[in-house]
């Protein structure tokens, strides 16, 4: 019977890892749909970003209480899962608490530490559920979260509560069996948290306690394997991707706009026709200014989209959204991820080659009204806890609208004409541009 359980466990673990690896490969393929972007400079600053923002969650602490609860859930869940290593080895070798004989008193401390974290994770998840569904925090209940996104968030929080409860019930039944002196249940720890509910099991027989302890053990590890494979389909993929996303974040000053080399070359060719290379005409038909669909974006834009946890801090900070306009930076990231997934599924259904589905990220997912509401104020970029940059995507889509479709607010056309003819946004010739200063000096002299 023991060997059968070991075989069942190994098969379950191998299947979970295989399914997870298969989905990770698809996500990697989708991210690689984007254009190349070199983001490997200054590794010291990148490691600092990752440690402070991904693990330390530095930007979360503008809201201290929420940040503390989130840190408990994030760090606590990660640290508790170190305990999974022992569970996995117990499942493979058919042992019980494999590390206890080797760690001695340190094992008792670790188990108690894990229990305290488990209780804090459980309590924090309850608070987060109440914030979403009872107090209904505005940024967590906006229109773009209707349907699956809201259900996903509630499911993940509920699932974490279940996993932590199973962990504590397993330990409580284990403690009850230790007290009874049952075989294979040697004394290991005081169990600071689960020990408080151990009296509930005091009057149960070994024949009842062992199935409870083993059932909680199996459900806990099966739940972890299920969570592992649910993660890539959920916004909670940020648990993993926050680390590479903060590492590969752009290190340029936040307000610095990125010029397009293609546009710079066009300006140069207009000013110095003699510098136009012979092959320029042949390249003309292959250029695309800005981005119309996912493959026109960079791989970092697509990594941003998968990393987004839909917390809504960017949308909450967006002045356009606050004044009732359609723009929501969170929705921009969600739409980009949805379009990326659609392209990936299309390719999978057609032997690995994308077949035109008549849709694009621009227009079919993100509207011009949303894009032109953006003032490029950088508030969304500053608000994101993991350095996601919605503005980079917005600007590339706006460039396509302006340069490829000539689709921009009519008021801008006069400005464009002035820039082209007068080298400035104002309708003054270059020779007359400084006249206002002359007039001002005259007025000052008269006064």
SS (H, E, C) 339-406: HHHHHHHHHHHCCCCCCCCCCCHHHHHECHHHHHCCCCCCHHHHHCCCCCCHHHHHHHHHHHHHHCCC
Grade residue 281 by pLDDT with cuts at 50, 70 and 90: low
Look at 318 and 81; give whichever has higher pLDDT.
Answer: 318
> What are the pLDDT digits (tens) for 8-31?
999 999 999 999 999 999 999 999
**Total number of domains constituting the chain:** 2
State whether 332 and 270 are in the same domain.
Answer: yes
Is 107 inside a domain boundary? yes
Query: Which residues, in sequence order, are bridge partners of residue 362?
Result: 366
Do residues 182 and 159 lie in contact, with contact meaning Cβ atoms separated by under 8 Å? no
Last residue of a domain, one of 247, 278, 295: 247
Position 283 scores a pLDDT of 56
Do residues 222 and 142 lie in contact, with contact meaning Cβ atoms separated by under 8 Å? no
Which among 360, 389, 363 has a CA at the least distance from the CA of 376? Answer: 389
Is 208 inside a domain boundary? yes
State whether 306 and 243 are in the same domain.
Answer: no
CATH code, 101 = 1.20.950
Query: Which residues, in sequence order, are bridge partners of residue 366?
Result: 362
The mean of the pLDDT values for the chain is 90
State whether 139 and 238 are in the same domain.
Answer: yes
**pLDDT higher than threshold 70 for residue 278:** no
> What are the pLDDT digits (tens) for 61-75?
888 888 888 888 887
Position 397 scores a pLDDT of 97
State whether 115 and 150 are in the same domain.
Answer: yes
State whether 340 and 378 are in the same domain.
Answer: yes
Is 311 inside a domain boundary? yes
Is 91 inside a domain boundary? yes
Is 369 inside a domain boundary? yes
At 125, list the tokens: 């998840």
**pLDDT higher than threshold 90 for residue 394:** yes
Do residues 390 and 381 lie in contact, with contact meaning Cβ atoms separated by under 8 Å? yes
The distance of Cα 436 from the centroid of its chain, to the nearest Å, equals 51
Instruction: Collapse the DSSP code of 278 into the 3-class scheme (helix H, G, I; strand E, B; otherwise coil) and give the result.
Output: coil
State whether 84 and 233 are in the same domain.
Answer: yes
State whether 81 and 187 are in the same domain.
Answer: yes
State whether 193 and 268 are in the same domain.
Answer: no
Alpha-helical runs (H) found in 180-293: 206-230, 238-247, 261-271, 280-284
- Give the range of the structural domain holding residue 12, as residue numbers without chain letter: 2-31+63-247
The percent of residues above 70 in pLDDT, for the chain, comes to 97
Look at 437 and 121; give whichever has higher pLDDT.
Answer: 121
**pLDDT higher than threshold 60 for residue 285:** no
Grade residue 287 by pLDDT with cuts at 50, 70 and 90: low
> What are the pLDDT digits (tens) for 147-158?
999 999 999 999
Grade residue 106 by pLDDT with cuts at 50, 70 and 90: very high
Last residue of a domain, one of 214, 247, 280: 247
Question: How does 263-292 read in b/e, with b if 16+ C-beta sit within 10 Å?
Answer: eebbeeeeeeeeeeeeeeeeeeeeeebbbb
Q: What is the mean pLDDT of residues 433-445?
A: 81
Position 433 scores a pLDDT of 75
* Residue 241: count of CB within 10 angstroms of its CB: 22
DSSP one-letter code for 52: I
> What are the pLDDT digits (tens) for 422-435?
878 888 787 887 78
State whether 183 and 78 are in the same domain.
Answer: yes
Q: What is the pTM of this model?
A: 0.87
Is 392 inside a domain boundary? yes
State whether 148 and 212 are in the same domain.
Answer: yes
State whether 211 and 315 are in the same domain.
Answer: no
Which among 223, 231, 123, 125 has a CA at the least distance from the CA of 170? Answer: 223
Is 44 inside a domain boundary? no
Which among 78, 87, 39 has a CA at the least distance from the CA of 240? Answer: 78
Do residues 4 and 318 lie in contact, with contact meaning Cβ atoms separated by under 8 Å? no
Last residue of a domain, one of 247, 271, 305: 247
CATH code, 344 = 1.10.1060
Instruction: Collapse the DSSP code of 430 into the 3-class scheme (helix H, G, I; strand E, B; otherwise coil) and give the result.
Output: helix
Position 84 scores a pLDDT of 86
Question: Which stretch of DSSP H or E encloses residue 174?
Answer: helix 148-179
State whether 340 and 228 are in the same domain.
Answer: no
Is 301 inside a domain boundary? yes
> What are the pLDDT digits (tens) for 237-272?
998 999 999 999 999 887 777 777 777 777 777 777
DSSP one-letter code for 252: S
Position 27 scores a pLDDT of 97
């Amino acid at each position: 019977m023991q060997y059968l359980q070991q075989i069942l466990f190994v098969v379950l673990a191998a299947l979970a890892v295989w399914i997870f690896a298969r989905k990770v490969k698809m996500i990697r393929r989708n991210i690689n749909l984007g254009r190349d972007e070199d983001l490997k400079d200054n590794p010291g600053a990148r490691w600092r970003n990752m440690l402070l923002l991904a693990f330390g969650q530095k930007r979360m602490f503008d809201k201290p209480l929420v940040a503390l609860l989130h840190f408990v859930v994030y760090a606590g869940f990660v640290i508790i899962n170190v305990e999974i290593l022992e569970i996995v080895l117990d499942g493979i070798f058919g042992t019980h608490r494999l590390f206890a004989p080797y760690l001695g008193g340190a094992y008792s401390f670790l188990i108690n530490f894990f229990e305290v974290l488990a209780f804090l994770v459980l309590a924090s998840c309850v608070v987060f559920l109440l914030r979403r569904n009872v107090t209904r925090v505005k940024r967590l209940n906006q229109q773009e979260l209707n349907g699956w996104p809201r259900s996903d968030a509630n499911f993940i929080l509920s699932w974490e509560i279940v996993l932590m409860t199973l962990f504590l019930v397993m330990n409580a039944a284990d403690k009850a069996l230790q007290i009874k002196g049952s075989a294979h249940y040697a004394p290991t720890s005081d169990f600071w948290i689960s020990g408080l509910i151990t009296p509930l099991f005091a009057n149960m027989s070994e024949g009842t306690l062992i199935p409870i302890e083993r059932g909680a053990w199996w459900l806990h590890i099966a739940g972890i394997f299920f969570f592992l494979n649910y993660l890539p389909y959920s916004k909670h993929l940020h648990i993993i991707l926050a680390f590479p996303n903060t590492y590969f974040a752009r290190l340029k000053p936040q307000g610095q706009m990125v010029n397009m080399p293609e546009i710079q070359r066009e300006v140069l060719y207009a000013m110095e026709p003699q510098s136009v290379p012979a092959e320029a005409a042949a390249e003309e038909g292959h250029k695309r200014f800005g981005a119309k669909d996912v493959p026109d974006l960079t791989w970092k834009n697509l990594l941003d989209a998968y990393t987004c946890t839909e917390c809504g801090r960017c949308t909450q900070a967006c002045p356009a959204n606050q004044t009732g306009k359609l723009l929501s930076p969170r929705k921009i990231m969600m739409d980009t991820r949805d379009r990326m997934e659609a392209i990936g599924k299309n390719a999978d259904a057609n032997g690995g080659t994308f077949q035109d589905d008549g849709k694009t990220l621009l227009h079919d997912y993100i509207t011009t009204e949303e894009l032109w509401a953006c003032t490029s104020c950088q508030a969304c970029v500053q608000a994101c806890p993991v350095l996601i940059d919605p503005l980079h995507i917005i600007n590339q889509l706006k460039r396509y609208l302006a340069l490829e479709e000539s689709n921009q607010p009519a008021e801008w056309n006069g400005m464009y004409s002035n820039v082209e003819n007068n080298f400035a946004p104002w309708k003054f010739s270059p020779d007359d541009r400084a006249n206002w200063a002359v007039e001002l000096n005259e007025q000052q002299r008269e006064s």
